[in-house]
Structure 1
């Protein structure tokens, strides 16, 4: 309903905020005369509601034309000049606009802004061709706060991970995926949930005195509606349709941009991010250096740093950094994606539920890569770096084998799994992964710590679990075929040891295993278990040896000696790890963080982030101690009992893995230049070279070669006996 208020010629009430009066003065009669001559109008007949710069020569009334003033208006320096941004050049001043309750700093352009209310405008800002730009006194700018006496129902939550909103988190400017992960996964801890709300409310006065903000050197043009918006410095907004209750974080070092047809409601956009071409986001937090474009729909989701999303639909997701999803026919619903993921065209993740309510969810470890036209049934869970072949997976999956390939056979049959597939057939991807993501990380300030190495403690603990699982399933298989060594075992432990011995001794054995827990109802067939077991052990040794070598080098130890070992054994051992928003943290440290929040030791989100920083500082130490633990697990004895033969075995196996990474990378790339089916679209070798370049042009391979040679040398020197 539209209301109406009549008033006579008498002046309306207004009040200047106390913080804007410094170095300001009222208009002179001569200035008022010039303003009125230039077709400017004011609700206050005496123009007493306008203050301008008190510094002589800093206010030129000739730079204001055909503008309506209301409420209070406080203007900074207005001197004749031109502001230029790309090909847009405008004369400094205020033209053809309606402004009220507005404060500007120096050298701004406000042109063709039909309705501008309750905003603070920074230095050298351009506002051009805007239909409506207003801010209410209870604006929250996308944060999950409450103002005044607002009821709890007015609070904006983001329902990540599950469509029933029972994993919802509150958005705030400094939110990172690590915060959202802890908040969304520890729902049974009611005290923690209460405290996280309190942390989010820190600094919120609840006063109904809010005003919109456009910081220095921002440019907003050809935009329909901005309401309750906070726009960071150097942001560029062009042709946006609707921006409501949002914060756009931006700086000179990390400029954010919003383009044509974009609609953003109830959310926060991170530094250096770009949103273009009819993209829509509602109830969201978008991290640093992200792209949302080509009609993408992001709803009730948190998108981690360095992610690119276009054309698709994402609903109720918590997505860690480095997520790629580029296809119009794909959608992602009710998931927690733990980063470095790539969703192929036609993937419909979230289309099937296992109950009558849409309350299912999917959790996928780092490096999740489903194939074309894949769909999965909720609930499903995937270990790190699982590659899923094209298929319609009609039953719930629990894939506990990291670096595996999962393939669909038939609806009423076991799925096929090749554990350690990446190590057996795609070592190039492992070697390139860390290099690729570091190169793509354009963030200037890195609040969210991101582990880009596939061979990190989170994945290695999954490898250990997979190794134990292969031994257990092999035991079951050997009992089924009547293998003598297993049948004669006197205990469960002896049976497992016999199965382990069998895997070690029969390196060429070719059989399959059955894992009933990998898929509901029909289970999974495990292919190449002997090779997978061998590759898993090799990669565990590689991780452990590399961690020890890195530790020795960074601490100035020329050799891994008993003295160094004794020092390392004093480091706390953490044998359980969590991927917290992209940062790998010991599970016990996450527990301790939650306790500190609950007991009041930690009271702000800045202090939470400082805690993450402290974990990063000790990450190498914790990782190195974990490396010793892995070696002890592999050889079933204390590291102090390792003899020269064991160390030589480690050096030999790790050298093979390191060398294979480089050789397989060369082989994988060389195929692109020697495969006749690859070459058949080119008339000759010269044309192919012009289009593809040469193998020698690959910077990564040059870097990998140098790193491999250096590591193999360090390995022999530091761990050699």
Structure 2
């Protein structure tokens, strides 16, 4: 998304542009002294001034003049007031009369059409048109206030980590530059002597607002803000209700509610907090919410579900899209040492109920993996994507009892419904138009991790042609099980003593029943059975192949639309930049003609959709056995809508591509 896009600058007006407009308004402001009649009018309505001559109060010169609608106010220092008339919008269903009453002002500028009532002290503030202030304590500003901009926020390990200079104009995607290069954009420092409120901002029942910038349309209720920036716009209003924030930035569309506390942190656009969330030295990405739990020294990526009492400390979770279950202890100190370690979760990582994660820990190359409920993980680096880490199913001889068991690729074959639902969920829940996020899960960088993990499981550096895993059989399967769908449906159901558990390939004379990180890289401090290794190889191979065939389908559609004649694999890959893709297709697939490849893709897509239905149906079968009224509170057809949508989309695309290729033949 371009930072200079006009539509984006309207939806998300930058802090510096907003301040620049305020400065222009103040510089162009023309004032005059009160007339004797106006002074008497103010006195008659219960107003007072610290200067008996009222020379400390000036009137703003505007095109339309009305009544100085001020009642029971006290003016200290130099103030600029304006005529108040008409109505001020308080909410969608309520307008208030423009007037100023029962408020003490010191060194303030009040623009036309505002509403004030029962405020103890407003000091060193600029109130723009349409602002509403009711029943507040003290609104004040220190000299040379930065509104929290330039405040250092330390994420990662608490004794070092990455130092981020907070700024209202930061993009969440700027964090990538910081993580990869150790730098971030440099912004002009902000130094202001007055708070800025509005336009159309509403502040009510706040005990203290000290050195704050409150953007357009923001609504602050019963909160305490010190040295903060709260950004907003007509389209993206920010709500702060019953919360406390210090030295922090709340960007457009943030909801910060119900007892939330925030210190030295950045809440990016459309993030939210509630239920006494505690956020310290952290960056919360767009579309992520923190409820109840504690987040300390962490970079919390987009679309993360953090909705329960849990702890996240010193995590660099840039790609986000994961979930934190109730009672998860992610980063509690466990050795009495300095808090100098950190966690790097991978994209889509799921932390189960009550799990305990010991540091340091690196799951960056294990995206969309699941850590089961109640387990404790040792310090480790895991590089097996879409895996399940759980308690061992039995005690294995020679394996430490502290080790868990890992099932590589488990989420791909056991819960493909989750992947479809997640992609749909990310697209529907994305509110940010300022930062672009990748919604597809099976994309190039994820597939590269699958290739790397498969090579680890093969216990070799490369997958050669001789070790080719046949597409039609979803891997090198046994003769008695030559159906991909049957393979998917039986992976979980196989018994350990099955007669079909012979090895796929004799890749290594050191084939074992149980492997650890001493045998295979990427397992972390976990053990793995040979059966799980073979399943992982097959599943990873299937999805690597799926990715390249989907890419081929896209190339076919684009090429057919522009130049259908002579459409072959060679014409598609004649460009030098397509050679790596061509080589991958040759390595991963036995078919060589386009029609056969697309027919294979069609069967794979249908198989995966069947698997998604099967994985969700398991929940309903189990639920109905346990709960007599299960169908009353669960709607199977509604849950299947996302699968039916995918089925319709994929089916239509495949029919079009196959028909095009058949017409050429």
Establish whether TM, by shorter chain, passes 0.5: yes
The superposition leaves residues 435-489 of structure 1 with CA deviations (integer Å, 9 ceiling, x where unpaired) of 111111123xx222211211012211110101111111xx6xxxxxxxxxxxxxx
Give the aligned partner of residue 40 of structure 1.
Answer: 47
Give the aligned partner of residue 608 of structure 1.
Answer: none
**Pairing of 1:208-287 with structure 2 (within 5 A):** 209-240=192-223, 242-260=224-242, 262-287=243-268
Q: Is the 8 A contact 2:599 2:658 kept in 1?
A: no
Cα offset, 1:243, TM superposition: 0.5
Give the aligned partner of residue 711 of structure 1.
Answer: 653
Q: Any idea what SS the aligned residue of 1:430 has? A: helix
Name the stretch that deviates more: 554-563 or 209-218: 554-563
Higher helix content, 1 or 2:
1
Give the aligned partner of residue 514 of structure 1.
Answer: 515
The superposition leaves residues 284-334 of structure 1 with CA deviations (integer Å, 9 ceiling, x where unpaired) of 111121110000101110011101110000111111111111112x10011
Q: Is the 8 A contact 2:409 2:540 kept in 1?
A: yes
Name the stretch that deviates more: 364-373 or 68-77: 68-77
The structure-2 alpha-carbon separation of the partners of 1:99 and 1:533, relative to structure 1 and needing over 3 Å to count, comes to: same
Separation in 1 of the partners of 2:558 and 2:81? 56
1:471 is the counterpart of 2:453: no
Give the aligned partner of residue 435 of structure 1.
Answer: 424
Give the aligned partner of residue 538 of structure 2.
Answer: 534
Given the two structures, how large is their TM-score scaled by the length of structure 2? 0.82
**Pairing of 1:37-186 with structure 2 (within 5 A):** 37-55=44-62, 58-61=65-68, 63-79=69-85, 81=87, 83-85=89-91, 90-144=96-150, 156-186=151-181
Identify which of 325, 336, 340 aligns with 2:316: 336
Cα offset, 1:124, TM superposition: 1.0
Give the CA RMSD over aligned residues.
3.1
Separation in 1 of the partners of 2:562 and 2:336? 57
Separation in 1 of the partners of 2:403 and 2:287? 36
The structure-2 alpha-carbon separation of the partners of 1:627 and 1:104, relative to structure 1 and needing over 3 Å to count, comes to: farther
The structure-2 alpha-carbon separation of the partners of 1:524 and 1:532, relative to structure 1 and needing over 3 Å to count, comes to: closer
Cα offset, 1:539, TM superposition: 1.0
Cα offset, 1:22, TM superposition: 3.1
The structure-2 alpha-carbon separation of the partners of 1:249 and 1:45, relative to structure 1 and needing over 3 Å to count, comes to: same
The superposition leaves residues 112-139 of structure 1 with CA deviations (integer Å, 9 ceiling, x where unpaired) of 1211112222221111111011112211
Q: Any idea what SS the aligned residue of 1:96 has? A: strand
Identify which of 411, 435, 438 aligns with 1:451: 438
Give the aligned partner of residue 301 of structure 2.
Answer: 320
Cα offset, 1:678, TM superposition: 5.8
Name the stretch that deviates more: 394-403 or 670-679: 670-679
Q: Is the 8 A contact 1:259 1:275 kept in 2?
A: yes
Q: Any idea what SS the aligned residue of 1:314 has? A: strand
The superposition leaves residues 390-422 of structure 1 with CA deviations (integer Å, 9 ceiling, x where unpaired) of 243352122111111111337625421111112
The superposition leaves residues 35-79 of structure 1 with CA deviations (integer Å, 9 ceiling, x where unpaired) of 112221222332233232434753412x21111112322234411
Name the stretch that deviates more: 376-385 or 158-167: 158-167
Gaps of 5+ in 1: 1-15, 145-155, 188-192, 476-491, 572-624, 636-641, 683-687
Give the aligned partner of residue 3 of structure 2.
Answer: none
Name the stretch that deviates more: 45-54 or 314-323: 45-54
Separation in 2 of the partners of 1:557 and 1:353? 62
Separation in 2 of the partners of 1:712 and 1:449? 28
Identify which of 689, 695, 702 aligns with 2:637: 695
1:658 is the counterpart of 2:605: yes
Q: Is the 8 A contact 2:613 2:640 kept in 1?
A: no
Give the aligned partner of residue 188 of structure 2.
Answer: 203
Q: Any idea what SS the aligned residue of 1:203 has? A: coil
The structure-2 alpha-carbon separation of the partners of 1:22 and 1:89, relative to structure 1 and needing over 3 Å to count, comes to: closer
Separation in 2 of the partners of 1:294 and 1:233? 26
Identify which of 345, 351, 354 aligns with 1:373: 354
Give the aligned partner of residue 388 of structure 2.
Answer: 405
The superposition leaves residues 192-217 of structure 1 with CA deviations (integer Å, 9 ceiling, x where unpaired) of x4xx4xx42x332x6x5432112211
The structure-2 alpha-carbon separation of the partners of 1:250 and 1:263, relative to structure 1 and needing over 3 Å to count, comes to: same
Given the two structures, how large is their TM-score scaled by the length of structure 1? 0.76
The structure-2 alpha-carbon separation of the partners of 1:674 and 1:505, relative to structure 1 and needing over 3 Å to count, comes to: closer
The superposition leaves residues 547-576 of structure 1 with CA deviations (integer Å, 9 ceiling, x where unpaired) of 2333444563475535752465346xxxxx
The structure-2 alpha-carbon separation of the partners of 1:285 and 1:69, relative to structure 1 and needing over 3 Å to count, comes to: same
Count of residues paired in the alignment: 593
Give the aligned partner of residue 300 of structure 1.
Answer: 281
Q: Is the 8 A contact 1:257 1:275 kept in 2?
A: yes
The structure-2 alpha-carbon separation of the partners of 1:18 and 1:371, relative to structure 1 and needing over 3 Å to count, comes to: closer
Q: Any idea what SS the aligned residue of 1:107 has? A: coil
Q: Is the 8 A contact 2:358 2:379 kept in 1?
A: yes
The structure-2 alpha-carbon separation of the partners of 1:533 and 1:520, relative to structure 1 and needing over 3 Å to count, comes to: closer
Identify which of 338, 362, 386 aligns with 2:343: 362
Q: Is the 8 A contact 1:544 1:631 kept in 2?
A: yes
Give the aligned partner of residue 422 of structure 1.
Answer: 411
Q: Any idea what SS the aligned residue of 1:97 has? A: strand
Q: Is the 8 A contact 1:419 1:527 kept in 2?
A: no
Separation in 2 of the partners of 1:643 and 1:672? 37
Separation in 1 of the partners of 2:45 and 2:86? 16
The superposition leaves residues 239-284 of structure 1 with CA deviations (integer Å, 9 ceiling, x where unpaired) of 11x1111111111111110112x01111111211101110101111
Cα offset, 1:335, TM superposition: 0.7
Q: Is the 8 A contact 1:510 1:528 kept in 2?
A: no
Q: Is the 8 A contact 1:471 1:500 kept in 2?
A: no
Separation in 2 of the partners of 1:293 and 1:676? 31
Separation in 2 of the partners of 1:305 and 1:626? 35
Give the aligned partner of residue 461 of structure 1.
Answer: 448
Q: Any idea what SS the aligned residue of 2:160 has? A: coil
The structure-2 alpha-carbon separation of the partners of 1:357 and 1:141, relative to structure 1 and needing over 3 Å to count, comes to: same
The structure-2 alpha-carbon separation of the partners of 1:377 and 1:81, relative to structure 1 and needing over 3 Å to count, comes to: closer
The structure-2 alpha-carbon separation of the partners of 1:48 and 1:626, relative to structure 1 and needing over 3 Å to count, comes to: farther
Separation in 2 of the partners of 1:632 and 1:27? 86
Give the aligned partner of residue 9 of structure 1.
Answer: none
Separation in 2 of the partners of 1:17 and 1:179? 29
The structure-2 alpha-carbon separation of the partners of 1:698 and 1:531, relative to structure 1 and needing over 3 Å to count, comes to: closer
**Pairing of 1:597-608 with structure 2 (within 5 A):** none
Cα offset, 1:679, TM superposition: 7.0
Give the aligned partner of residue 510 of structure 2.
Answer: none
